């Protein structure tokens, strides 16, 4: 199958899931995860009309996205991988949405870079819903205080929450937890669902799904 066909398939499955869950058509955004694929492999997705992309590494993104962004206007780039505070300057410069804010040090570094560059990428807090030690993200219990801290101490507006459920578990309860946490803290957006579970995520209220291999093929 060609990339265009796979992309269309994902789009129509999202639309069907929206419909089945009684959600308005177009309420879920597709973030096409292009990590490990080079500019040549990404261009067909842009040609097929895709504009929102996700990457998990700042340095890898710097090697392809400045050029791709110059070629086509309206590209929206999401950082979906862990961020080191010494990369906050590069992340603020390149990304439109940073989905992996998960600790004070990063929040502070982002706040000061956003001020310095007069640039305001939208921010999501990553929540480690499965409390997995190897995984990034703040613990669910610590999320409300952290979001309050970002808002009141740093003046950051937190637009969304993001999670990656444990690979071996049923993702539904994790998506439900993320939705509950967001509602409690007055956070609007929910980034959840990947190639294997994005339809489930739509049913649980995802406002964006991050789909890589189902579009670009195996990595």
Beta bridge mates, 30: 209
Tell me the two tokens of residue 74: 């309206």
DSSP 23: P
Stretch that binds ligand PLP, among 42-50, 128-136, 141-149, 209-217 (CB under 6 A): 209-217
Touching ligand PLP, residues 92-151 (CB under 6 A):
none
Among 77, 194, 202, 203, binds ligand PLP (CB under 6 A): 194
User: DSSP of 33-69, one letter per residue?
Assistant: E-TT--HHHHHHHHHTT--EEEES-HHHHHTTHHHHH
DSSP 77: E
Could you say whether residue 32 binds ligand PLP (CB under 6 A)? no
Tell me the two tokens of residue 139: 């613990």
Touching ligand PLP, residues 45-74 (CB under 6 A):
56
CB nearer to ligand PLP: give 136 or 154: 136
Could you say whether residue 210 binds ligand PLP (CB under 6 A)? yes
Stretch that binds ligand PLP, among 67-75, 151-159, 170-178, 192-200 (CB under 6 A): 192-200
User: Which residue's beta carbon is nearest to the bound ligand PLP?
Assistant: 212
Give the shortest CB-219-to-ligand PLP separation in angstroms.
7
Handedness of CA 187, 161, 171, 1 (dihedral sign): positive
| Contact assessment for residue 99 and residue 78, using Cβ atoms and an 8 Å cutoff | yes
CB nearer to ligand PLP: give 81 or 205: 81
Judged by CB under 6 A, the number of residues near ligand PLP is 14
Q: Smallest Cα–Cα separation from 74: which of 41, 48, 52?
A: 52
Give the shortest CB-135-to-ligand PLP separation in angstroms.
10
Rounded distance, CA 159 to CA 78, Å? 13
Q: Which residues are at the interface with ligand PLP (CB under 6 A)?
A: 33, 35, 56, 80-81, 164, 194-196, 210-214
């Amino acid at each position: 199958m060609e990339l265009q066909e796979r992309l269309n398939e994902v789009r129509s499955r999202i639309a069907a899931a929206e419909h089945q869950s009684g959600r308005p058509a177009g309420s879920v955004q597709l973030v096409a995860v292009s990590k490990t694929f080079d500019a040549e492999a990404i261009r067909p997705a842009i040609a097929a009309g895709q504009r929102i992309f996700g990457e998990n590494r700042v340095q890898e993104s710097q090697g392809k996205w400045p050029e791709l962004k110059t070629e086509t206007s309206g590209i929206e780039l999401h950082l979906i991988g862990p961020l080191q505070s010494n990369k906050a300057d590069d992340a603020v410069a390149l990304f439109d949405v940073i989905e992996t804010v998960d600790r004070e040090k990063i929040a502070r570094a982002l706040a000061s870079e956003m001020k310095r560059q007069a640039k305001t990428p939208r921010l999501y807090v990553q929540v480690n819903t499965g409390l997995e030690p190897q995984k990034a993200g703040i613990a669910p219990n610590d999320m409300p205080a952290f979001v309050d801290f970002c808002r009141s101490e740093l003046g950051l507006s937190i637009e969304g929450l993001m999670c990656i459920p444990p690979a071996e578990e049923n993702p539904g309860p994790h998506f439900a937890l993320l939705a509950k946490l967001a509602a409690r803290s007055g956070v609007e957006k929910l980034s959840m669902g990947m190639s294997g579970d994005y339809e489930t995520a739509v049913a649980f209220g995802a406002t964006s799904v991050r789909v890589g291999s189902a579009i670009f093929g195996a990595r």
